[in-house]
Structure formats: C-alpha cells, structure tokens
Amino acid sequence: MDDAWRRRTRIGWGFVCLAVLTGPGTAWAWPTDEDPPPNVRITEAFAQMAVRVSLARAARRLGEPGCQGLLTEFSDAAGHPLRATLDARGFRPETYFQHMRFYDGTVHPHCAADGVYAVTLHPGSRLVYVCSVRFLATFKKDPGLAEAYLIHEMLHSLGLGESPPSTKAITERVIDLCRP
C-alpha cells in the first residue's frame, strides 16, 4: 500500500467514525477555516474523532457569556482570574483549544485511575493527555459530559490547580455554566 492510499483510507474511515459516533440527528459542525481543528494526536480513529467533535462543541459553548463566567470565577495559584491569563496570552475563550495539544494518554499512569478522562499534568500546561477508551465511552453515552471534561482541562491549562477545588467541583461547575 502506498502512503496516499493510506491517507485517503484514514480520512474516509474518519468520516465513517464521525457518523457512527454522532449518530442521526446530532448537530455539530467542523471548525471553519478561520478556526482550524485543534492539534489532536490520538491515533485510534474513533477516540480521535470523539475528541475533535467534543472540542468543536466545547469551543462553541465557550463563546457563550454564561460559560465564560468560569474564567472569572476560577483563579490561578496567585489569585489571578483565569480570564486575565487568557487575555495576557492573547486568546479568545472559543479559540483557545487550538493552542492546546491533546495526546493519547492510554498508557499514562494517571489514566489507570478510575474516573480520570483527561489529564493536564501541571497547571498552566497546554498539553493534555486524553484517556482515550474512557473518554470515547463517555462521548458515546453523554457527549455533553465529554465536552465538560475538555473545558475542565482547559481551565487547568490556564493555571487552575486542584484540591481545592476538587475535580468533581470543577466539572460540576463547568456543567452548571456551560451546558444548554
């Protein structure tokens, strides 16, 4: 097999995966040329598409003022609102995911723990490890919850620590402010 055939096949399977994952009647859209897809480095096609679709939906939610309230409600270790960090970096909430990197965390030790769907190792890091199998299962059952997990990780990438607030408290607040 030549490389061009492999690329075409992989792209074709991507669309099949997308159709299977989103199902009939599910509204979503590819990011536009102005908003290129985020850097998702997950090789398993179904998990990659689940993360890409979740990121696109989460970005749309972050365009809403209510969801953006997270950025003023939460602060970094120095007490600065996350919105100040975002502004200092020169990003808009709805496009920030494009500047993050999402890698497969299947073999990452944190992904072995129950209840972990994605991990940002250090507050302020733009690198997120996605626990692909668990994330995909969540996406299939509750796509909105998968989006909330990615927004949760975005907050960590802007400097939010954990404990306090607890992982559960962060995710619950994301759901409260960002779900339709």
**Bond before 164 cis per omega within 30 degrees:** yes
Task: Report the pLDDT value the prediction gives residue 3, as an integer from 0 to 100.
Answer: 53
How many degrees, rounded to 5, is the angle at CA 101 between CA 75 and CA 30? 105
CA angle 85, 86, 87 (to 5 degrees): 90
pLDDT score recorded for residue 33:
44
Query: Could you tell me the mean pLDDT of each successive run of 10 residues in the chain, 180 residues long?
Result: 47 46 47 56 94 96 97 96 96 94 94 94 96 97 97 98 93 92
H or E segment to which residue 101 belongs = strand 101-104
Q: Structure pTM?
A: 0.81
User: For residue 2, what pLDDT is reported?
Assistant: 53
pLDDT at 26: 46
pLDDT number for residue 13: 46
Q: What is the pLDDT of residue 11?
A: 45
Which residue do the tokens 């990197």 mark? 101
CA distance 83 to 2: 47
